[in-house]
Amino acid sequence: MQSQLRKQLIDAFTNNKDEFLSGQYLADLIGCSRTAVWKHMEELRKEGFELEAIRKKGYRIVKTPENITADEIRFGLKTKFLGQSIHYEESVESTQKIAHRLAYDQAAEGTVVVAEEQVAGRGRMDRVWHSPKYTGVWMSIILRPNIPIPKAPQLTLLAAVAVVQAIEEVTTVTPQIKWPNDILINGKKVTGILTELQAEADRINSVIIGIGINVNQQMEDYPEELRTIATSLSIESGKRINRADLIRSAFNRLEHLYELYLEKGFLPIKLLWESYAISIGKMITARTLSGSIRGRALGITEDGVLKIEDTEGIVHQVYSADIELE
């Protein structure tokens, strides 16, 4: 985790972008010695920050590194709680696993685990999620909403909207959402979301939202069997994407939507979600634990439950399923 001092240093540059900040100014602001400031600036340089240092003027951040360390993500971050505590790891089994432990040990709401690589990333129902090094955003976010357990699936839809908006913000492409948790571009998967809970039998302790975004993979990076179903933001937009920009944007959007949700309920999220939904009005097949339903997707209920009208005109409410578009 980042030290408070490091956080304050980065925030100073965030709030004075492109300006030179002197060692003395930074030392006074943070309440430490100029030597301490200098040491932290050297640490940032080692992490890959490019710094310009001019005598009598001070330091300026010229270029940020390609990786997504806590420092890099914090540079430019303006959230209140989301991402204010970042656990950055080079390589992990899965960010969900670490976030589960942190959540159990009372980590603050908005705590995030970010990794450059997952060697055992998982999606819904324990499916494998391919998470190669330095190419994607693999992260887990801890929330502690005071909502009844049955409403938890709404947070998957909320997170999907936040990620779609973040993708719109940092690229030129507009993705679509496939109920409940996939984000597609041109019909191929670019993001998966996994919402998990720790709860007492009748009360949520924490919600852990895992988000995997394929960012800078090229088609040749994918194993053969994934090429027809997966894509990346870089493939679809034709340019390299700065992952830290994407993460900060996702934090901003998610925090905003989450506060809206806690205040106004699910309705505003539902309306946003439907505006991005790919399946509405289309014929789909929903595979549930108790069998398959084929019909036209009508939308979602005010609680986020998928409505399907089958060929006999009967409307089904689907709480949990895999969806196939026709």
Query: Rule CB under 8 A: which residues touch its own copies?
Result: 97, 100-101, 104, 124-125, 149-150, 152-153, 155-156, 180, 194-203, 205, 319-320
With respect to its own copies, which residue has the nearer C-beta, 71 or 196?
Answer: 196
Nearer CB in complex with its own copies: 114/318 = 318
Q: How far is the CB of 320 from its own copies (least distance, A)?
A: 4
Maximum pairwise Cα distance, the chain: 78
Compare residues 18 and 200 and give the one whose CB is closer to its own copies.
Answer: 200
Q: Is 118 annotated as a binding residue?
A: yes
123 appears as a binding residue in the annotation: yes
Residue 218 assigned to a binding site? no
Residue 90: CB minimum distance to its own copies, A: 21
Phi, psi of 316 (to 5 degrees): -105, 145
Nearer to its own copies, 198 or 285 (CB): 198
Which residue, 297, 325, 323, 299, is CA-closest to 310? Answer: 297
Dihedral sign (CA 54, 57, 62, 67): positive
Least spacing, CB of residue 266 vs its own copies, in Å: 13
Q: Which helix (H) or strand (E) holds 143?
A: strand 136-143
265 annotated as belonging to a binding site for a ligand: no
Structure tokens at 39: 């040491």
Task: Show binding-site residues for biotin.
Answer: 118, 122-124, 189
Task: Show binding-site residues.
Answer: 118, 122-124, 189
